[in-house]
Structure 1
Amino acid sequence: MKTIFRLSVLGFFSLFTTVNAAVPLPVFPNTTFKITNYGASTSASDNSTAIQNAINACNAAGGGTVIIPSGTFLSAPLTMESNVNLQLNAGAVLTALPYGNGNGSPTGSYPNNGTANTYSNFIYGKNVTNIAVTGTGTIEGQGSAWWAAFKASPTVLTKRPCLIRFDACSTVAVTGISLQNSPGVHLTFGQRSINSTAANLTINAPSTSPNTDGIDTWSPNINIFHCTIACGDDNIAMDSESQNVTIKHCTFGTGHGCSVGSFTTNVTNILVDSCTFNGTTSGMRLKTERGRGGNENHITYSNITMTGVTNPIFISSYYPSFPATPTADTAQAIISTTPAWQNIILKNAVITGSPNAGTIWGLPEQSIVNVTFDNVQISATKGMKVNNASGVKFNCSSISVTSGNAITSTYNAGISGIDFTTGKSTSCIPIIITGLGPDNLSNGLLVYPNPFRESVRISSIGDFRYIIYGLDGRELESGQGSDQALVGSFLRPGIYVVKIQGTSGSSTSKICKSE
């Protein structure tokens, strides 16, 4: 049989040139298996046998696409096989069986996995390769009864099913679909997996739903792009062995932020870029505790906008709570699982409307080392706490508070580049970029993704030089000014990089011009 690669999976990614080439995408033959041809029906009380038979037939034929057509299909848990693309067409809703009374009672409710109060994940794969869940349909978890049962008996329902989980799998993609109301986590790239991609997903659960993380990662080589996530726990959580993870162009609503932890052993080479946080409980949330950490290194958040985020910056070796004071805890022996946060960067960020500026709190035996704020502007009610941390550097960054000092606690802390009282930068003269709309009123543009429409006003104290580059590295515009300059009027709509050299420092930011 001639193999033809389907555009339903690969064509989506051709739109993006930023996909990490080290993360390959699955490819499938042009063979299709429609679940209704295997007995699935919108009137059936459980379609799991029909859908599983379609998956198995697809695998036995050497791979292809299992199609779930428009309509609502109830199902018990399903097992993915290698070389299978499970595609939910427009209007398709794959719905997990309801919780009922638990353990498969009454008939027609979600079964246990043979042991009381333990349940298989809804869509699960283990030791399989080249798999995908794609389309534009919806997977519905019917989580409300699960959440109520958990709140009534939290020690009984400790492991509620994920909607999708893959363990020890390679070359995985989940794209385009909506995931909602999972009993537990919505999507997990689990232990011993490699080369996983999530893109263009919409994930929703109520803010009060317990432990309903959007996406959890426990493995290396992961791309997460263009996802919109609002849930009851971490929007994204990167746990132990998450390495070479890239998260770009995501929007986070209710939830606990784009997090690392709380299991953080060997979490390295993380990039979170061009993401927006609106009303999340936390933003940049790095959390762990003794016994769960070790080798947390090279973590960067860049081009970030946060609005109304309760805890915008949270880097802690205590979880879930801090000691009463920095001196209330005594140093312990350093072992392999002692948290060791180092080389953390927050760059090109605008944070507004937060109750507090942030918290950085290491252990007495192991400080948090080398945290850099580069062109970060924070507006909050109260200032930042920094305890047991060294090499905390503010470069062209500021903290503006309405109550108290900008830096409120500095126990065993090495901090530079900022005035602890006023929050003003002492490392350079901040370079402010503001945009002008058609009515010639400033729209407060600072960095991407806040767009301008006609031109950009660069303001600085004294002389400066600027260069605007395209994303391909070509120089498009350059010039110099004294105190201020209007630039960018001849640029086409798009995203650019502007480099500004002032008398006391430099700044590099992405800017966006809209239609």
Structure 2
Amino acid sequence: MTQRTIFSLIAACMLQLTHAADYRITDYGAVNDTTKLSTEGVQRAIDACSKAGGGRVTVPTGMYKIGTIVLKSNVNLHLEHGATLYGSTSLADYKGMKSDYLSLRTQTETIQLIYADNVENVVIDGYGTIDGRGKSFKKLSWNDEGITRPHLLRIIRGRDIVVKDITLRNSGCWMQHYLACDRLRIQGIRVKNRNNYNNDALDIDGCHDVVVSGMIADSDDDGITLKSTSPRMCENVTICNCVVSSHCNAVKLGTETNGGFRNINISGITIKPSEDQTSQFFGLPHGISAVSLEIVDGGVLENVNVSNITAEGTESPIFIRLGNRARGYYQGQTITNVGKIRDVHIDNVIVRNAGNTGCSVTGLPGHPVEDIHISNVTVSHKGGAEKISIPTDEKEKDYPEANMWGILPAKGFFVRHARNVTFNNIGIRTEQPDQRPDFITEDVR
């Protein structure tokens, strides 16, 4: 038998195995009809695939209505061209899920359209769409996200997770929440989340070894967000080559920071206002910040590198904040330590048509931010402000937001309670004369 014949036989066997491992949801009872519920048909396909050891669950071209489905290990959920999974608009079709992983948002049952917990080797891909129809779920209380307004996608303790190429639209709250996951890759997806409150585009929470690339996102709330809602640090994360629109913060580390952030690389991000300004639940039409780096609930933020950012609009482009909100991740927990921010590098940032607020780098008395290096930054805004007094209120316990002090006393950077901060090649341009200096520092060495 020749070597060519052997390779041909191997290829034929692999082709047969691949074909045998496909599970079409229509073969398990799902119907191309949004007046009928296909949750059970989709779940039966997932269960059969998992029971057989794994494979691909395919969603053929068409429109399918579902409630909560639960992904399992070794399952590839694949949406063909023209395939759309629509979330049901009835809360009765969503199943409450409670993980035994302890974090801020897992202590009660939550609802989501697609859910997985303690899984490995899960892929969601294809060129179809998942649409949560989140506008149907009204905000009923201050903290009802995931309670009466479903997440579209939530994966907890996932290992080797890939989300690739698909389009995600219209969640009831956060679009996608990855909690305590390892080896997560998000590539080439498109996100539109601008139909309800808390409409983040992406939340990576206490995850390790993450790569996000080529995402195009348009969200009412924060765009690309790293969080730490448990003691687990968000660590070894690369985010690159994305286009982001947000009414709030385009790229944000925080607000929840119990575990902190380490070894974060963010580069090649284009930030622009949304073309759709028909609704605004939070923030400002042109966005609050381009980059926000925050520690307010304990935790350490260190070894963070942000580079090659271009932004159009945004009120306060760069915001670095060490505060002391001290909120725990479970009820009754007391946070007694102020966190740390150190070893941050921001380089090659161009911002046009910014707001007049200015940028800020601030710590607290006795708790300075340290080793902050900002270079090759150009910020252009209208200007026209008169001299402004330095704010006396430290706002130690306040929610951190780039415009929390209003218009800052510096038209460039206001720096307070900081050690070893360097600025190199910074350009602040205003269309109108502005009486504020480019820099103001207070308690800075």
Asked if TM exceeds 0.5, the reply is: yes
Q: How does 1:267-346 map to 2 (within 5 A)?
A: 267-279=261-273, 280-289=287-296, 292-318=297-323, 337-346=337-346
How many residues align structurally? 365
The CA deviation at 1:301 is 0.8
Aligned pairs for 1:75-474 (under 5 A) are 75-99=66-90, 102=91, 104=92, 109-110=93-94, 112=96, 119-146=110-137, 149-150=138-139, 152-154=140-142, 159=147, 160-191=149-180, 193-206=181-194, 209-218=196-205, 219-240=207-228, 241-255=233-247, 256-264=249-257, 265-279=259-273, 280-289=287-296, 292-318=297-323, 337-355=337-355, 356-380=357-381, 381=383, 382-401=411-430, 402=432, 403-407=434-438, 409-414=440-445
The answer to whether the 8 Å contact 1:357/1:378 transfers is no
How far, CA to CA, are the matches of 1:268 and 1:4 in structure 2? 46
User: What one-letter code is carried by the residue in structure 2 that aligns with 1:40?
Assistant: A
Cα distance in 1 for residues equivalent to 2:321 and 2:312:
22
- The CA deviation at 1:75 is 0.5
Separation (CA, whole Å) in 2 of partners of 1:379 and 1:306: 10
Partner of 2:24: 34
Cα distance, 1:70–1:204 mapped onto 2, change above 3 Å = same
Q: Deviations over 1:350-373 (max 9, x none)?
A: 112111331112111311111111
Could you report, residue by residue, the CA deviation over 1:284-329 in whole angstroms, capped at 9, with x for unpaired residues?
111232xx13221011111110111112101112388xxxxxxxxx
Give the Cα separation in 2 of the matches to 1:211 and 1:288: 20
Structure 1 residues 170 and 157, CA gap change in structure 2 (3 angstroms): closer
Instruction: Give the match's secondary structure for 1:311.
Output: coil
Native 8 Å contact 1:263 1:293 kept in 2:
no
Q: 1:284 to 1:156 in 2, by over 3 A?
A: closer
| CA 128–112 in structure 1, closer or farther in 2 if over 3 Å, else same | closer
After superposition, the C-alpha distances for 1:130-188 in whole angstroms (9 at most, x for unaligned) are: 00100011111111122xx21x5335556432211111110000010111110111112
| Alpha-carbon separation, structure 2, partners of 1:367 and 1:5 | 63
CA apart distance, 1:129: 0.5
Q: Is 1:58 the counterpart of 2:49 in the alignment?
A: yes
Query: Is the CA contact 1:29–1:64 (under 8 Å) kept in the aligned structure 2?
Result: no
Cα displacement (A) at 1:410: 1.9
Question: Root-mean-square deviation (CA), in Å?
Answer: 2.7
Counterpart Cα distance in 1 of 2:318 and 2:13: 43
Could you tell me which residue of structure 1 aligns to residue 396 of structure 2?
Answer: none
TM-score scaled by length of structure 2: 0.76
Q: Equivalent residue for 1:504?
A: none
**Cα distance in structure 1, aligned partners of 2:143 and 2:203:** 22
SS at match of 1:345: strand
Match of 1:512 in 2: none
Whole-Å separation in 2 of the counterparts to 1:236 and 1:5: 42
Larger-gyration structure (1/2): 1
Q: Distance in 2 between matches of 1:5 and 1:368?
A: 59
Residue by residue over 1:97-117, the C-alpha shift from the partner in whole angstroms, topping out at 9 and shown as x without a partner, is 104xx4x2xxxx545569xx9
TM-score, normalised on structure 1? 0.66
Contact 2:266 2:307 in 1 (8 A): yes
The percent identity for this pair of structures is 26
Cα distance change, pair 3–285 in 1 and its aligned pair in 2 (3 A): farther
Q: Is the 8 A contact 1:262 1:287 kept in 2?
A: yes
Checking the alignment, whether the CA contact within 8 Å between 2:222 and 2:246 is kept in structure 1 is no
> For the residues of structure 2 that align with 1:153 and 1:169, how far apart are their CA atoms?
30
Q: Which residue matches 1:480? A: none
Q: Which residue of 2 aligns with 1:455?
A: none
The CA deviation string for residues 399-422 of structure 1, in whole angstroms up to 9 with x for no partner, is 2344233445422124xxxxxxxx
- C-alpha contact 2:269 2:309 (8 A) present in aligned 1: yes
Query: Where does structure 1 lack aligned partners over 5 or more consecutive residues?
Result: 8-27, 321-334, 415-515
Distance 1:157 1:258 in 2: 21
